[in-house]
């Protein structure tokens, strides 16, 4: 059974956090969909709140701490990334942006990314298309078609005849994202399957 690695990045500042809750729900939806397709799923969560000081120090010194480097490697080594941020002043949080500023611009090339955001009112929902999608487009990631914004009132709402409720949006987004991850070769395949260049040259000489 093939194992796929999903990583959620949560930029929530409080504990517990609605941002982390949304990240967990999206992970759960994606994991359920992949399980239906008989994939094993390795799930990890990166809490940026715990790395805030390390991220700031990295900008000053130019060197990441061991914990920060581990978080960066975790994200860049994933088969799929779920990125969720609270909204501050109509955009992603500074902590969220600062972390992704430390990601090599080519490290997420072709990686499926599901974006989400949380905020006090629905007025900020445009952050998904005006800020988050352009950020990950710059990083050359493949952004899932459905993004999820959760305002405070969404957590207790089931939707109506015209608008899907939050659980429905989470399930749809998670399923689309999971299908994108499953459609791509795992980035964590056994390296023994890769033929070294020197061996390829030796095989050519034998021919």
**Tens of pLDDT, residues 10-19:** 999 988 899 9
- Encode 172-206: b = buried (16+ Cβ within 10 Å), e = exposed: bbbbbbbebbbeeeeeeeeeeeeeeeeeeeeeeee
d(CA 194, CA 183): 20
**Tens of pLDDT, residues 170-180:** 999 999 999 99
For residue 31, give every residue at least 6 positions away whose Cβ sits within 8 Å of its Cβ, in sequence order, or none: 6, 41, 43, 178
Q: What's the predicted TM-score (pTM) here?
A: 0.86
Report the DSSP pairing between strands 142-143 and 112-119: parallel
Would you list the domain boundaries of the chain? 3-206
Contact 47, 91 (CB under 8 A): no
> Does the 3-206 domain belong in CATH 3.40.50.360?
yes
């Amino acid at each position: 059974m093939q194992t796929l690695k999903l990583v959620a990045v949560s930029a929530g500042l409080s504990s517990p956090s609605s941002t982390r809750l949304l990240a967990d729900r999206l992970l759960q939806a994606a994991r359920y969909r992949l399980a239906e397709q008989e994939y094993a799923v390795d799930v990890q969560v990166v809490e940026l709140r715990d790395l805030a000081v390390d991220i700031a120090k990295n900008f000053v010194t130019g060197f990441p701490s061991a914990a920060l480097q581990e978080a960066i490697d975790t994200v860049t080594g994933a088969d799929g990334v779920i990125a969720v941020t609270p909204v501050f002043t109509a955009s992603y949080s500074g902590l969220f942006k600062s972390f992704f500023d430390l990601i090599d611009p080519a490290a997420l090339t072709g990686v499926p990314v599901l974006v989400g955001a949380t905020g006090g009112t629905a007025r900020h929902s445009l952050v998904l298309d005006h800020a988050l999608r352009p950020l990950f487009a710059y990083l050359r990631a493949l952004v899932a078609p459905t993004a999820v914004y959760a305002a405070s009132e969404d957590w207790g709402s089931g939707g109506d005849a015209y608008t899907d409720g939050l659980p429905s949006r989470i399930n749809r987004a998670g399923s689309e994202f999971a299908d994108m991850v499953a459609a791509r070769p795992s980035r964590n395949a056994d390296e023994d399957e890769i033929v070294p260049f020197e061996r390829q040259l030796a095989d050519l000489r034998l021919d």
